[in-house]
Structure 1
Amino acid sequence: MNTDKPLSQRKLQALQTREKLLTAGQETFLSNGFQKTTISQIIKKAQTGYGTAYVYFRNKDELFIYLMEELMNKFYTIAELPFEPITHEEARSLIRNQVQQFLQLSIKEKAMMTVIQEAKGISPSVQEKWSNIRERFISRITIDVQYAQAANLAKKSLNPHLVARGWFYANEMFMWELVHNENHYSIDDVIKNMTQMYVEGLYH
């Protein structure tokens, strides 16, 4: 039996107000960039009162960090794809798929990713959050490396934490290059070479 109680009118209004602020925030950040966006612009676009808005977000940085986390959760869904290969070729296929999805999502979300890149260089709190997000990805990759080592697919002489860190940094570099159209190679070539480099370096 479903025992969930319906939300009260007050709570429903609160959720709607918060959602309006987030929607207005995203639209304003995408339109103006991070630096030129102000919390006043967001509040005006959301058509909410100042006092009400500050109940949910203290400043534009806090609102932006929430939007950034929402987007990064899409990337993290890729990082959390099941990874239990039995063979070398199965591992290669799974890794290639992850790289492909990660980089393709970067291109799809390049407008917001561009704002994130800008914000990281301006806001200490955004930079700190990005560092935390980066460590979350590295921790997940470490688990996959440790699985491969335990399954006797990957070289046990390599430090899984260092491998994971290097692998994420490589993906991050290509991600930003693709976002800013700075990569002069096709995405297929990047995926192919990244996968081969990783698999041949780590796996037996």
Structure 2
Amino acid sequence: MEREQTDKRKMRGESSKSKIIEAGKTLFLENGYKDTTISMISKQAKTGYGTAYTHFPGGKEEIFFIIIDEILKEFYQIASVAYHVNSKEDSLILTRGNIEMFLKLAIKHQQALKVFHEAIGVSHIINEKWEEFIEKFIKRISINIQQAMDKGLTHHGDFDPEVVAGVLFYTGEKYMWKIALNKTDKDYRTISESLAQMYVNGLYK
């Protein structure tokens, strides 16, 4: 009996957390990060103000990052795919494809990324989370670069893989934000082709 009651409390708690997260998704997109409050989220989720803090002690920053982390995982999945190349041509095909997928995600999640961009500017916690993601992403790309160097495919054997990876990531990030913020009318395929050619021709023999 006691276990049954515990299970029911746990289920209610999980249900409450899900409602709060779903309410947050709706309100952040409607109002932006700065103008969304815990009170608004609690009301939308039909839960008590204190309940929201019980589940998410970090307040709206914690709720928002849980939401945006789902999107960041989609972006990271691009970098985490096994990368085996034996030629410059192989690398161009894979790099172009990866950049296209990266920018297509920016189109898919455009509204959420607009809010994320705002949150990065006003919350040092969210900004730190984004910096952690960037570091993780660059380290993963640098593994691929090191593999190419080990195979003797690059112009030089003494490139710093993380520096080269950073050049690719930060250039791609720039266009990701341009797409999210409606600051470019360039087609994502045109951007992908240009970035891939620049990166591969600069790195590979």
Residue segments in structure 1 that go unaligned for 5+ positions in a row: 1-6
How far is the alpha carbon of 1:8 from its aligned partner? 2.2
Instruction: Show the 5 A alignment for 1:36-185.
Output: 36-58=35-57, 59-154=59-154, 155-185=156-186
> What's the counterpart of residue 3 of structure 1?
none
Letter in 1 for 2:127: Q
Identity of aligned residues (%): 37
TM-score, normalized by length of structure 1?
0.93
Describe the superposition over 1:13-69 as per-residue Cα deviations: whole angstroms up to 9, x where unpaired.
Answer: 222111111110010000000111001000110111222211111211111111121
State the Cα RMSD in Å. Answer: 1.3
Describe the superposition over 1:117-171 as per-residue Cα deviations: whole angstroms up to 9, x where unpaired.
Answer: 0011111111111111111111111111111111222232311010011111001
- CA distance in structure 2 between the aligned counterparts of 1:147 and 1:201, rounded to whole angstroms: 16
- CA distance in structure 1 between the aligned counterparts of 2:142 and 2:14, rounded to whole angstroms: 37
TM-score, normalized by length of structure 2?
0.92
> What's the counterpart of residue 4 of structure 1?
none
Instruction: Show the 5 A alignment for 1:2-41.
Output: 8-41=7-40
- The SS at the match of 1:111 is helix
- CA distance in structure 2 between the aligned counterparts of 1:112 and 1:97, rounded to whole angstroms: 23
- The SS at the match of 1:121 is helix
- CA distance in structure 2 between the aligned counterparts of 1:43 and 1:165, rounded to whole angstroms: 40
- CA distance in structure 2 between the aligned counterparts of 1:72 and 1:115, rounded to whole angstroms: 14
Letter in 1 for 2:151: A
